[in-house]
Structure 1
């Protein structure tokens, strides 16, 4: 299975740290945040990784190279302007192929065992979910007792920015068009085609300087 890391955002919530450095390259525990992802993906057996880039794209490409130093092969999907999550995936589909792929937001960190990522036959997506946090008490979706994700229902969980996507979910979108992922996921949930996991281990949404510092402190203790 290939993997895709979403790394094309502007990092506006992380300013001023991202004024001159794209968010994926911000250092945490002695290495760029995205390198933690590459090393964990490699350890889980992923070998081909697509990264979408836009803001300061060349900095990311130059810093990571072909990926060989991390034990993976990297392919970069360059966006002239950020295309949102679904639009970015659609633009990268020629690099991802026609089989399910792992999807990882570049600005999260989790100890979820990546080797567990899989997709049941007939599903369009399977998402890792975590408990609600102070910054998002309302959550995103409901995971029912059968391990199926629903757009409504209680209790609510947060999408952890990690999962498996089938290209069919995205393929009908026009290329080079900004499109958000959530409406496509909700439509697939209504069709009963989205599964999920409830991860109760570590997870950090590295969206602000404060949460970057939190992750730094957490990883320095381990």
Structure 2
């Protein structure tokens, strides 16, 4: 599931007429980067939630699916259904009938061009019994205090002396968004808007969230300045083997 329903207030005026996930980075819409990475790794069923300027994202997803045979993109239309975005946990709960027993979640406005959405990661997570596995990153300047700790055993920690920033990338088990963990009715027919962090913290306190630190390129494209800086940086040399 790719989260793409937010208003992007900090990106104004760029997001007044364009949803943030469709802003271009290095010649491609932000959301296209993870869509291509997921498809290349064999994850061919995507769900995208929308609200602000959702019709533009609907058109983009339909066009992308048409150009990528064997891939499907299902849109969870929060703006059309309720008139507002349901936040992260609310949006995932709304889309739950469209998702499998285990699924990726990531934000459509985070630039992580080298992240590996691997089948091995999914297999390890499925065998772990954890409710979630999240990727953390070194703290960027705009979040110096971080979000979650990481124990030597690889568990995410609600309380820790050293905290890292949540990358927005994670593997989740659908049980986390069902009772008794989540109070939202599965499918979220009432349109409850709820953030993900409190739900994650409850699971962390029960020792049911694992984590690892990702040190590759990662940018939360949250302001026009960050977008400009990202486009101004030279692209790193390709690490792909010669053809």
Inter-partner Cα distance in structure 2 for 1:214 and 1:185: 31
User: Which residue of structure 2 aligns with residue 17 of structure 1?
Assistant: 14
User: Which residue of structure 2 aligns with residue 49 of structure 1?
Assistant: 46
> Counterpart of 1:169 in 2: which secondary structure?
helix
User: Which residue of structure 1 aligns with residue 108 of structure 2?
Assistant: 106
Inter-partner Cα distance in structure 2 for 1:203 and 1:194: 22
- Residue by residue, what CA displacement relative to the aligned partner does 1:154-189 show, whole Å, maximum 9, x if unpaired? 221000010101111112313110011000000000
User: Which residue of structure 2 aligns with residue 117 of structure 1?
Assistant: 121
Alignment RMSD (CA, Å): 1.5
Structure 2 residue 10 is the aligned partner of structure 1 residue 8? no
> Counterpart of 1:21 in 2: which secondary structure?
coil
User: Which residue of structure 1 aligns with residue 37 of structure 2?
Assistant: 40
Task: List runs of 5+ in structure 2 lacking aligned partners.
Answer: 238-243
Structure 2 residue 104 is the aligned partner of structure 1 residue 85? no
Q: CA deviation at 1:221?
A: 5.4
User: Which residue of structure 2 aligns with residue 149 of structure 1?
Assistant: 156
2:142 paired residue among 123, 135, 142: 135
Count of aligned pairs: 218
- Residue by residue, what CA displacement relative to the aligned partner does 1:85-114 show, whole Å, maximum 9, x if unpaired? 0000000001113x1100111111112211
Moved more, 26-35 or 109-118: 109-118
The higher radius of gyration belongs to: 2
Structure 2 residue 67 is the aligned partner of structure 1 residue 69? yes
Structure 2 residue 221 is the aligned partner of structure 1 residue 211? no
Q: CA deviation at 1:63?
A: 1.8
Inter-partner Cα distance in structure 1 for 2:29 and 2:173: 29
1:163 paired residue among 136, 159, 170: 170
Task: List runs of 5+ in structure 1 lacking aligned partners.
Answer: none
Inter-partner Cα distance in structure 2 for 1:156 and 1:135: 14
Structure 1 runs of 4+ aligned residues shifted over 4 Å read: 219-222
Inter-partner Cα distance in structure 2 for 1:125 and 1:214: 32
Q: CA deviation at 1:220?
A: 4.3
